[in-house]
Amino acid sequence: MTNLLLASTKNTDNQNRQYTPLNDPEIASVVAHINEEHLDELLGFLSVFTSLSTAELDLVDAQITDIYAEGIAIQTCPKGSENQPTDAQDSSLHDQIFFIAFAAPISQLDDLQAQYILLKQRADKKLGKKTIKLTKQVFDVQSSYRISKNMLRLELSMPSLDDAQSSDIKDATSSTSVPTNEAGYAYLFDLEHNAMTSALMTDSIDGNEADGNAVNDSEKNNVRPTRLHCYYTLRKAWHTDDDIRAWVDVFLHGDTSGGNWAAALKTGETVVTKREFPEKVEHLRGGQGVLIVDETSMPTAARLLELWNNPTPPLVICVTQDADDQSYFDTVKMRSSLDSIGNDNSNIDNKIDCDTETHGNDHFTVLPIVTNQANSGSDLATLIDSTLGDYLTDNPLQIDKVWGALEANTAKALRPLLRERLELSRTDVVVKVYWRHD
Ligand SMILES: Cc1cc2nc3c(=O)[nH]c(=O)nc-3n(C[C@H](O)[C@H](O)[C@H](O)COP(=O)(O)OP(=O)(O)OC[C@H]3O[C@@H](n4cnc5c(N)ncnc54)[C@H](O)[C@@H]3O)c2cc1C
């Protein structure tokens, strides 16, 4: 059980003296990152590891104030204070500091991720939420092909558990190891696996085994890609009679580790994933939603649309560098997979004119933005915000929920602009970071 200390601001310093500072210059940026990107997780920690009630938590936001060897200190603060008068809230809940202990102390910041993931797994489990998994999965590459100018689709397969396990050890929870009805489910792909495999193949084809049998350490360093891992989203997965099939759509944008890895994959090769986690999209179940995507998050939005379980169709703001990648949504049909949970529904070829045709409640509007440059930075946030503003002037809509995923600086600049324009709270405006501009 996590140790818990409840302290008011008055005695924070005394309480903190019990914990070991990490004295790492990177702590401030890690704390800022978690506070910016992971508010819902911090609230989850407070909900599970403290005595705060759900009603109390509804009134507050949370932020990490420090990371110690033994755990993290989380402070409550007024919820969405930019939009609500402070006197309308219960100020006794503000500025309290809670200590959340790690399962095992850490000695350096590098160890934080593992302990943070453990906390998150425990909290999500208690809250009945899907959580991050540190499991290794192996897929076979079936094929790869372009689906728009710069988007490469990988079709992967995995034996279904029906084949892989004897039926007597199957149970309801293990009936699928690849989620077929989740939007934005992301896998961390091990790029090094394929670099090593290809080096070993070359090694054996060249008949070099006599020199030492295997790739040695210096050779390993030579074949190591600049990035060892890369996140890509499960665009869609479905069962066939023989196996589980999955699409992963990779945006190719020049000579980069992830793109080169994807482009070089051949039929019959294996790809390995090391971590997987669900996307934060629960808030989209009701109200008028807006999805804001660039090339990296189009796969998540496409699956969200296919699984859209909200009577009101969303508005999709789609930012691409190249006009030819806007066609990505042309073959995406809203709610096309809602009736297919557990069934194969892979043959989607209904081309809809998203901008001009109305398909009753199944019509979604795409607001295209073509930038002719890499989609990063705060200027892009201003452009997205003003494009949305212009659209809402012509089409008055009350926007209730936002989901987006963009470059880090764009996401950071866009969140406050949208909160102000749409008068929404932090939890209703989820804009994730999917990549960072160097
Ligand atoms: C949860 C999650 C899900 C994701 N899902 C997908 C997905 O389904 N498909 C997908 O394509 N990507 C997806 N991404 C993004 C992908 O992981 C990053 O874009 C990754 O950085 C690409 O690696 P890379 O080797 O191509 O480039 P990097 O090694 O990251 O960067 C190399 C260079 O390319 C630039 N660069 C990186 N990404 C972009 C970009 N998108 N546009 C322009 N320049 C760029 C960098 O600034 C740098 O100069 C996802 C990311 C996350 C966190």
Note the pLDDT tens digit of each residue in 64-73: 999 999 999 9
* Pocket perturbation via mutation, ligand 1, pick of 249, 434, 436, 438 by most ligand atoms within 8 A of CB: 434
Looking at the fold, whether 271 and 298 belong to one and the same domain comes out as: no
Domain of residue 273, CATH code: 2.40.30.10
Q: Is residue 427 part of a domain?
A: yes
User: Could you tell me which of 271, 274, 337 has the C-alpha nearest to residue 139?
Assistant: 271
Domains of the chain: total: 3
For residues 83 and 423, the answer to whether their CB atoms sit within 8 Å is yes
| Helix, strand or coil, per DSSP, at residue 282 | helix
pLDDT mean over 301-314: 96
Q: What does the pLDDT look like over 132-164, one tens digit per residue? A: 999 999 999 999 999 999 999 999 999 886 555
Q: Say if strands 229-239 and 243-251 run parallel, antiparallel, or are unpaired.
A: antiparallel
Looking at the fold, whether 107 and 146 belong to one and the same domain comes out as: no
- How sure is the predictor about 360, in pLDDT bands with cuts at 50, 70 and 90? very low
Q: Which domain holds residue 379?
A: 282-435
Helix, strand, coil fractions of the chain, as percent rounded to 5: 40, 25, 35
Strand order in the sheet with 315-320: 365-370, 315-320, 289-293, 401-407, 429-435
For residues 386 and 413, the answer to whether their CB atoms sit within 8 Å is no
**Highest mean pLDDT range out of 60-64, 87-91, 186-190, 222-226?**
186-190
Pocket of ligand 1 (CB under 6 A): 186, 227, 230-233, 249-251, 253, 256-259, 295-296, 299, 374, 434-435, 437-438
- How sure is the predictor about 427, in pLDDT bands with cuts at 50, 70 and 90? confident
Q: Which pLDDT score, from 0 to 100, does residue 337 have? A: 85
Looking at the fold, whether 320 and 343 belong to one and the same domain comes out as: yes
Q: Is residue 132 part of a domain?
A: no
Looking at the fold, whether 336 and 268 belong to one and the same domain comes out as: no
